[in-house]
Structure formats: structure tokens, C-alpha cells
Amino acid sequence: MAKNTAPRAPGSEETYAMTPERIRDMEAHAETQGRTIVTVAVIHARSAQVVGFSDLQISEFRPHVAYQQWSAVTSGHRRRGLGRSLKARLTRTLIEDRPGVRIVCTDNAEDNASVRAINTELGFRPIRTGHRYHGLRDCGPSWPSAGFAGARAS
Ligand SMILES: CC(C)(COP(=O)(O)OP(=O)(O)OC[C@H]1O[C@@H](n2cnc3c(N)ncnc32)[C@H](O)[C@@H]1OP(=O)(O)O)[C@@H](O)C(=O)NCCC(=O)NCCS
């Protein structure tokens, strides 16, 4: 899946295989915790395949904040503006359907130039930098990840 091509921590072998069942499970689980998942996807007309998606979550306990989750476009469809359009469409959906949301939070690996470029273009601004540690046993290298947050345009 496209998500697996995101920059990852050295040595990380985590991979994702998303299926309709897994997505339904995730949505049902989120609902039990008062979270709503909002997803936009782009479907390639000729093949009828989903070639990109972007999603975020909103908690009923903090309804003014949306948490951006994943965005991905399959390799053969990149650099055609789909990633930008998906995230812009997701923001538009928030403005139209969730007027209570004032802030969108996300975090990205520092070396993920593509998504950082899109986020900057959409108005996200860095607020803090943190480290995520992988591989508890070998205490491998830490991996810097830049935090972004953007106040939503209304
Ligand atoms: C991030 C991702 C979704 C971008 O999708 P995309 O459809 O290729 O992006 P776009 O074509 O809309 O690119 C928009 C802008 O981002 C920047 N950009 C995109 N890819 C880039 C790259 N590889 N290097 C540098 N800048 C890049 C450019 O400024 C580009 O605008 P331009 O093409 O007009 O110059 C895609 O690269 C991807 O799926 N990556 C793997 C998964 C991932 O890392 N997701 C993000 C973490 S959640």
C-alpha cells in the first residue's frame, strides 16, 4: 500500500495492508471511543481503484480539534496534484460539515519533503519538534519528527 512508502525510522519493518474489513473495524472501534473518522479518497476512473486517500479524526470530547492521520497516493499517480487536492478537499469538508473545528493537528517526519510541502502550502505551521523512538531492545537511532498545526481558514 502507498502508506508503506512513507519515510520510516531506520530498521522499522512496520507495514500496513488495509482491507475494507480492517477499515470498518477501525471505524467501529473509533465510534466506541467517541471518535469520528473522516476520509476522502480518489478513485482512478479507468481501473476503479482507490489511488489515494487522506483521513482525520475528531473526538467528541475535543470537538474543536481535528487530528490529521494518514495521506497517501500510490506511486504511479504521484506528482499530479492528487495529494494536495485530497488534503484541500478534506479541509473543505471540515469547513462545510464541521464548523466547530478550529484547529487541525498533524505531525510529519522531518525528511518527508512531499507532505511537508503540501502542509506548508495549506497553511500549517510548525509548533514543535519531537523524537519518536523505535526498537526498544537495541535502542536504535531516534527519528526526528516535526509537529505541525494549522488554524483552519473559515
Ligand atoms: C505525500 C503524498 C501523499 C503526496 O502525494 P502527491 O499526489 O505526489 O502530491 P502532489 O502531487 O499533490 O504534490 C504537491 C506538492 O508537494 C511537493 N512534493 C510532492 N512530492 C514531492 C517530493 N517527492 N519531493 C519534494 N516535494 C514534493 C511539491 O511542491 C508538489 O507540488 P508540485 O508538483 O506542483 O511541485 C505522496 O508522496 C505519498 O503517498 N507518500 C507516501 C506516504 C506518505 O509519506 N504520506 C505522508 C505521511 S501521512
Adjacent-strand bridge partners of 149: 105, 125
Instruction: Give yes or no for residue 150 CB within 6 A of ligand 1.
Output: no
Ligand 1: nearest atom to the Cα of 3: 42
- C-beta of residue 126 within 8 angstroms of C-beta of residue 108: no
Q: What is the pLDDT of residues 59-108, one digit of tens each?
A: 999 999 999 999 999 999 999 999 999 999 999 999 999 999 999 999 99
Q: Which residue, among 32, 46, 1, has the nearest Cα to 19 in the 3D structure? A: 1
User: Torsions phi, psi of 22, nearest 5?
Assistant: -65, -40
What per-residue confidence (pLDDT) applies to 77?
97
Report d(CA 119, CA 91) in Å as an integer. 11
Average pLDDT estimate for 45-66: 95
Ligand 1: nearest atom to the Cα of 79: 11
Single-letter amino acid, residue 77: H
Instruction: Give yes or no for residue 116 CB within 6 A of ligand 1.
Output: no
Instruction: Give yes or no for residue 112 CB within 6 A of ligand 1.
Output: yes
What per-residue confidence (pLDDT) applies to 18?
75
Cα–ligand 1 centroid distance for 114 (angstroms): 4
Mean pLDDT of the chain: 85
pLDDT exceeds 80 at position 33: yes
Half-sphere exposure of 106 (CA within 13 A, CB side): 25
CA angle 98, 101, 105 (to 5 degrees): 125
End-to-end CA distance of the chain: 34
DSSP string of 90-119?
Answer: HHHHHHHH-TT--EEEEEEETT-HHHHHHH
Average pLDDT estimate for 115-125: 94
Q: Domain 15-151 class?
A: alpha beta
Ligand 1 atom 9: residue of nearest CA: 83
Average pLDDT estimate for 26-44: 95
Each residue of 81-102: b (16+ CB within 10 Å) or e?
ebbbbbbbebbeebeeebeebe
Report d(CA 78, CA 52) in Å as an integer. 9
